[in-house]
């Protein structure tokens, strides 16, 4: 057993599990500096996560509850949380399969159809100042998707990238021209969807259960009300096993508007600029390439 990391107040992983769940820890395997796989008395295995920023875990827990409430996609159960720690079920690892991918596509369509009060709506109980990965993300409600997306999902990260020197001002003007044209590029108006919000491949787990088939589980949401094509664009950006089967299942349940594939790049501007802020110039160049392609349409 590894030595449990301690918080600034001195509480370690074992003490956290006991306080939040009411069971003592029997063993722990650290997966990163902030995440541990913990076995509790009685044999239950949970994930214990330490928070990276103010409100981050409260936002994540609220997102997991909000997604779970739909009865659509599978998410790990939340066993306890506070401002510093989050305890959830561990997802037994499985293997990707076409059948599970098609089921995931149908479930994701149903999740999106569950809706949200507005674009930018946080989950009930979730903070306005949330996170996407390690980057702050503000959930400010809006009714017009092109305007909301420009003001609250693209421009904050574009400005930060310019301030950091990752994007030059002349390059930022290219993205700003795309945002000016969003009303004509965005396609037919859609109601606010209930988004996972950070749907890259690392947050899509191919789990196993007691049956022969496997299921997809979603972790680490940055849940909010948004455009459903944004979740799908993120799956395209970072790859997903059997993505064609995921899309087939999605389209069977809730067909996408004509031209959706041409709009993938517009929805990728948000995660690409987030990654440019967090990880540097390479992602900025991808964002600029996407913006130039949109202007060439």
Distances, alpha carbon 211 to alpha carbons 77, 94, 215, in Å: 19, 11, 10
Phi then psi for residue 93, to 5 deg, are -70, 140
Distances, alpha carbon 168 to alpha carbons 90, 165, 210, 288, 295, in Å: 43, 6, 53, 11, 18
Which positions ≥6 away from 43 have C-beta within 8 Å? none
Q: How far apart are CA 69 and CA 62, in angstroms?
A: 11
Q: Is 198 a residue of the active site?
A: yes
Pick the catalytic residue from 198, 213, 220, 258. Answer: 198
Burial class (CB in 10 A: 0-12, 13-18, 19+), 158: buried
Q: Which residues of 182-193 are buried (b: 16+ CB within 10 A; e: fewer)?
A: beebbbeebebb
Burial class (CB in 10 A: 0-12, 13-18, 19+), 293: middle
Q: How far apart are CA 231 and CA 245, in angstroms?
A: 16
What crossing angle do the helices spanning 243-253 and 228-238 adopt, rounded to 10°? 170
Which positions ≥6 away from 263 have C-beta within 8 Å? 185, 186, 187, 229, 233
Q: How far apart are CA 134 and CA 58, in angstroms?
A: 14
Residues annotated catalytic, as ranges: 198
């Amino acid at each position: 057993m590894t030595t449990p990391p301690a918080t600034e107040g001195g509480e370690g992983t074992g003490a956290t599990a006991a306080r939040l769940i009411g069971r003592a820890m029997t063993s722990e395997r650290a997966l990163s500096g902030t995440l541990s796989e913990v076995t509790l008395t009685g044999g239950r295995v949970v994930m214990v996560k330490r928070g990276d920023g103010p409100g981050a875990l409260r936002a994540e827990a609220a997102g997991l509850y909000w997604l779970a409430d739909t009865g659509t996609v599978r998410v790990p159960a939340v066993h306890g949380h506070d401002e510093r720690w989050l305890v959830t079920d561990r997802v037994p690892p499985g293997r990707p399969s076409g059948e599970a991918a098609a089921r995931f596509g149908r479930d994701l369509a149903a999740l999106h159809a569950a809706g949200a009060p507005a674009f930018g709506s946080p989950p009930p109980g979730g903070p306005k100042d949330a996170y996407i990965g390690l980057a702050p993300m503000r959930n400010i409600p809006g009714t017009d998707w092109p305007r909301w997306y420009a003001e609250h999902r693209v421009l904050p990260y574009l400005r930060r990238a310019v301030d950091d020197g990752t994007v030059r001002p002349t390059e930022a003007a290219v993205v700003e021209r795309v945002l000016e044209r969003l009303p004509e590029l965005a396609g037919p108006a859609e109601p606010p969807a209930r988004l996972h919000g950070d749907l890259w491949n690392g947050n899509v787990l191919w789990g196993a259960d007691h049956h022969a088939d496997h299921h997809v589980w979603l972790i680490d949401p940055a849940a909010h009300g948004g455009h459903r094509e944004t979740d799908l664009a993120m799956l395209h950006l970072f790859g997903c096993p059997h993505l064609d089967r995921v899309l087939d299942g999605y389209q069977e349940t809730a067909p996408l508007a004509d031209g959706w594939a041409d709009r993938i790049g517009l929805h990728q501007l948000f995660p690409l600029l987030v990654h440019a802020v967090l990880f540097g110039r390479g992602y900025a160049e991808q964002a600029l390439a996407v913006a130039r392609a949109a202007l060439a349409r």
